[in-house]
Structures are given as structure tokens and as C-alpha cells.
Amino acid sequence: MIPTAATQLSFWDKFMELQYKMVTHAADAPQGHMFASEPVEWPLLVRSIAYWLSPNSNAQVHLIGNMITWYAGTLSVLLYGGLLGLYAIRQRRAYFDLTPRASQKFYDAGCVLFLGYWLHYLPYFFMDRTLFLHHYLPAYIFKILLLAFVIDHIYFTICVHESKRSFTNIFILC
């Protein structure tokens, strides 16, 4: 309800009202939608979002990602997590696969992207509202950056021999 007289709220009163409205707004939204999706479906691109449907024909415009980069990005998140665990176990056993500089780069840059992805993806599992694929796009950006980082790490750190690089070049081109 909109008040008829102007209200005088302090900064903190306005701040608290804004926080309250942001939390309760999701509860007012209608539940269930034809193009709604669950967070579990997003990394595998199970469903798209229709932006426009022609009333006269079967013409449609959908939000759908590039399947190759979408799945490669999902694979890179899993691969980085696996490499992180593998390197941690091997370092614990006093076997160092990476030089100190490469190790520092792998942990610093990779962890920023890996944590950025999960911090933008996991909160949606706890939201009780209608969710769509576009909610995943901030996490998707981190996933694509992590894909480039993992390819760089494999190409320049793991594949130090020419024979391994040739195979990696062919794999990347495919």
C-alpha cells in the first residue's frame, strides 16, 4: 500500500525496508512456469527459455547456449576439482608435480575462478522461487574462464613434451 503522505525514513530504515522487500518479493512471485528450470539442470543445459513465439507460425527465439562450450565448461569445472584434489594428495605425499611458480598460478588463479563459479551457482539450490536458465549466467562466465584456464594449464604445464602437445592441439581443434 502506498502512503498518501511523504514519510521521513532514516538511512537505516530505508536500508532495512529494502532488505525486507528483496527477501519477501520472491515469495510473492507466482510459482511454476512453463520455462522454469532447476539448478541441477543448468550445467547440462537440459532446457532453454523461449523469448519469443510467433502467434502466426512456428517461429521461435530461445535462449540456449553453445553446446560445445557449455559441456566443455562443465567438464573443466570437474577437471579442475579433480586436479586440485590430485595435486593436494600428491603434495601431501611429498611428490611435487608442479614448479613453485606453476603451483602458485594454479592455486591462485584457478581457485578464484573455481570458487567464483560455485559461489554464483550453489545459492540457487536454497532459493524457494521460480528459477530460469538466465540465473545461471553469472556462474557460466566463471565456468568459461575456468575452461580457458584449464586448457592453458594442460597445454603449458602438463603437456611439456611435443608429442603430448600435438595430441592436445588435435583435441582442442576437434
Please say if the pLDDT value at position 131 is more than 70.
yes
* pLDDT computed for residue 36 by the predictor: 80
Locate cell 594428495: which residue? 89
Q: Grade residue 114 by pLDDT with cuts at 50, 70 and 90.
A: very high
Mean pLDDT of the chain: 85
Question: Percent of the chain scored above 70 by pLDDT?
Answer: 87
Q: Is 60 helix (H, G, I), strand (E, B) or coil?
A: strand
How far, in Å, are 19, 25, 95, 122, 130 from residue 29 at the CA level? 17, 7, 54, 21, 8
Q: What is the spatial distance between Cα 21 and Cα 25, in angstroms, rounded to a whole number?
A: 6
Span 143-166, mean pLDDT?
81
- For residues 4 and 111, which has the higher predicted lDDT (pLDDT)? 111
Q: Grade residue 161 by pLDDT with cuts at 50, 70 and 90.
A: low
- For residues 85 and 28, which has the higher predicted lDDT (pLDDT)? 85
- Please write the tens of the pLDDT for every residue from 36-95: 888 999 999 888 778 888 899 989 888 888 899 999 999 999 999 999 999 899 888 888
